[in-house]
Amino acid sequence: MIKENLLKIAATVHAPARLIAVSKTKPVEMLQEAYEAGQRLFGENHALEMRDKHEVLPKDIEWHLIGHLQTNKVKYVAPFVAMIHSVDSLHLLETIEKEAAKNNRVIDCLLQFHIATEETKFGLDKEEACALLDSEEYRAMKHVRICGVMGMATNTYDYDLVRREFANLRDIFNKLKERYFADNENFREISMGMSHDYKIALEEGATLVRVGSLIFGARNYSNL
Ligand SMILES: *Cc1c(COP(=O)(O)O)cnc(C)c1O
């Protein structure tokens, strides 16, 4: 079923947009099956789980860290992670900078924004993002590359609200692009959309959609 699910979704994601298969909590056998169906971008939300899967799976996989990241866990993914979507503080970015330097590499990052009406979702607002981007600490960094923005919409069947939240994230992207990254072609990613709303996200300009349960089946949260 994984291959079938993947191919059906992949057919709706057109370049330059890309599909991230969110494989958190799923066993490596299922990731291997997706890999064999051609999938190369995988998303995980726990650093240690991602490190363990990276160790046993093919090395041409692009690993995307999409969940809230504690600074003391950055070191586990710094050697290989393709992109960290969940940068929500200067402090976290400073840790990524330090760990990336130790590994002699540059780590691609997205700034996570709080776009949902729910209180529980992590993320910056526009003022906090500007303060981060204006800071001397950020400007001195040589081992992180901010490539765009990430957000999660409210978990609701009110798809008009979801659409407005995605449009808001696109608007934030455009404003940051104009103010800070006008000549920087690396700043081009809008990571938004999950299983139940990725089609709306694509319509609103997503370049990375993060789809899990629609590919791998529902997660059993009692195992978390
Ligand atoms: C789990 C998760 C997803 C995927 O969720 P599904 O509803 O299974 O598609 C996407 N983004 C983030 C940040 C997640 O934690």
Residue 219 is predicted with a pLDDT of 84
Ligand 1 centroid from CA 151, angstroms: 11
Q: What is the CATH number of domain 2-216?
A: 3.20.20.10
- For 39-86, how does the pLDDT look when each residue is reduced to its tens digit (9 = 90+)? 999 999 999 999 999 999 999 999 999 999 999 999 999 999 999 999
Residue 123 Cβ < 6 Å to ligand 1: no
- For the entire predicted model, the pTM comes to 0.96
Distance between Cα 152 and ligand 1 center (Å): 9
Distance CA(172)–CA(166), nearest Å, equals 10
pLDDT in tens, 24-35: 999 999 999 999
Above pLDDT 90, what percent of the chain? 94
Contact 30, 215 (CB under 8 A): no
> Which residue's C-alpha comes closest to atom 15 of ligand 1?
67
In angstroms, the CA 15 to CA 138 distance is: 31
Alpha carbons 38 and 34: distance in angstroms, whole number: 7
pLDDT the model gives residue 121: 67
Using N-to-C axis directions, what is the helix angle for 2-10 and 28-36, rounded to 10°? 50
Q: Which two tokens stand for residue 16?
A: 């330059």
In the block, which residue shows the tokens 């709080």?
A: 114
For 223, which DSSP code? G
pLDDT at 155: 92
Ordered by start, the domain boundaries in the chain are 2-216
Low-confidence residues of the chain: pLDDT under 50: 223-224
